[in-house]
Structure 1
Amino acid sequence: MFIQGVYKTLHGVTKLYCCGMCSKDDTCKSVNYQRVAKECKLVSMPLSAWIPTYDTNWDVYTKIGWTLLFRGTRGIGGDIYTAWTNGDSVTEDDVTCMTTDVTSCNQHYRNPIVNMWSSLATTQIKVKYVLYKSEGEVAYIIFNGTGSNATSWFSQENVFESTWDNLKNDTYNYFSASGYNNTRRFYANRNFGGCDVDTAYTVTIATQFINCDFDVPETVPQFLYSTSATYGYPNQMIGMDRADVMAIFVMIG
């Protein structure tokens, strides 16, 4: 059974009921079920996120699908990269932030699972980087995260699928989570030859930097993304738009 991540316990229920309650609850990622006592524990972590303590009277089940690891909120401050890597200025327990609803949260959310990345990435995992506006998902990249660390999955060679048709096979100056000059984070930059000819598929402006116009927004972070099947021009906002929420998910298996 798991000793971490349990957020609700149900007594005197069947195994089917226990798993059914988890399937209807977005917070629930796995369950522990005690067969003798008919005790059900709903867990906010997927099966491989924590090392379990074994007890032959307990059954453990995990939910298949994407688990939210991080949610960045536009314009509220803070370097999105250090929020992701170190947990700077994040919440781990505000349930209003454990969703991609653009109006639900005024913080950055970080799932404690990120601290277990070295264990998580030893299994077969995919990582999904997603951008949202009020109408829903507007762009995404799915990466192969197996064998990665908490930042190396964001790379061209790990691209598995994307809303941008050319992303996998294009050429880049920067394609990394750390990005450029500690300000342009989660940066997929194709051309780097002067502000008006700089091109990108996506970039997060994490801190204000006096270089190009798009580096000095009124508030940070700003999540810029190309609105076409290829790159756009962030300085002139040609073929580009701003998302309201950036999210990172993981899927095991």
Structure 2
Amino acid sequence: MEKKVGDWQVIYRARSRNGQSVVKSYMKLGGASEQTEKNSACVSNNGRDYCRKNYRHSMIDRWDSSKVEKVRLELYHDGQMVAHIVFNGTATTSTSWFSQDRVISSNWFDLKEPNTEEGKQFSFFGYSNNDIDRRLYINKHWKGGCSFHKGWMMVIEGLDRGNGCNYEVSLSYPVFLYNPHTYADFYDDFKREADVLVISVIAKRVNAV
């Protein structure tokens, strides 16, 4: 099961609140879906389409030889795109493309602006300790406590009760939080949730030969 949209090839698709870590399933060496998965819902942009696990293309394991040119991350809610970022994927690894200096375009117009504020993050692996797991984390500011946390998006993979911030408390994980505005804003104020996360590439060689 594969999905192409123009020149873009879907290499990863995750559903929120399915109990599966985005980072672990994306990084799982040898975990491939395109030759075994028959359910078209596994590459759907609509979270209402049920798939039992996250979709992972084996191309992620062959990143170096695939000659990736661009990478696109998209967030969807009820089948509608609510956020996107296009990255320059040349000379990257399977995670290093997720970087501010590689952003080509986005619905967030200030994403490429210099950020010197305390708590800035732009990291695939994000911020994690024993209590908090914020992945694919693009944050602008966090000084002053939870009500002052400001940014663009994060994947919350878990939270011990009594720790973390109110905006990341959920009955199930992962949760895909995003900013609905075109600029960084306070998480407590927006707290919008996407239900599908999709990563696609334009590459010269996606499938093994």
Q: Same fold by TM (over 0.5)?
A: yes
Q: How far apart in 2 are the matches of 1:90 and 1:28?
A: 14
Aligned Cα root-mean-square deviation (Å) = 2.3
Question: Following superposition of structure 1 onto structure 2, how do residues 185-196 of structure 1 map, counting pairs within 5 Å?
Answer: 185-193=135-143, 194-196=145-147
Q: How far apart in 2 are the matches of 1:28 and 1:212?
A: 37
Q: 1:181 maps to what in 2?
A: 128
| SS of residue matched to 2:159 | coil
Q: Check whether the contact 1:82–1:88 (CA below 8 A) recurs between aligned residues.
A: no
How far does the alpha carbon of each residue in 1:18-68 deviate from its partner, in whole angstroms, 9 at most, with x for none? Answer: xxxxxxxxx476xxxxxxxxxxxxxxxxxxxxxxxxxxxxxxxxx951100
Question: Following superposition of structure 1 onto structure 2, how do residues 132-151 of structure 1 map, counting pairs within 5 Å?
Answer: 132-151=76-95
Q: How far apart in 2 are the matches of 1:89 and 1:75?
A: 20
Q: 1:232 maps to what in 2?
A: 185
Higher-Rg structure is 1
Q: How far apart in 2 are the matches of 1:119 and 1:89?
A: 18
Q: Tell me, which stretches of 5 or more residues in structure 1 are unaligned? A: 1-6, 8-26, 30-62
Of 151, 173, 177, the residue aligned with 1:200 is 151
Q: Check whether the contact 2:31–2:58 (CA below 8 A) recurs between aligned residues.
A: no
| 1:90 shift after superposition | 7.8
Percent identity (aligned): 29
| 1:252 shift after superposition | 2.6
Question: Following superposition of structure 1 onto structure 2, how do residues 18-167 of structure 1 map, counting pairs within 5 Å?
Answer: 27=2, 64-86=6-28, 91-92=33-34, 93=37, 94-106=39-51, 107-120=53-66, 123=67, 125-167=69-111
Q: Check whether the contact 1:100–1:132 (CA below 8 A) recurs between aligned residues.
A: yes
Q: Check whether the contact 1:117–1:150 (CA below 8 A) recurs between aligned residues.
A: yes
Q: 1:212 maps to what in 2?
A: 165
| 1:101 shift after superposition | 2.3
Moved over 3 A (4+): 87-92
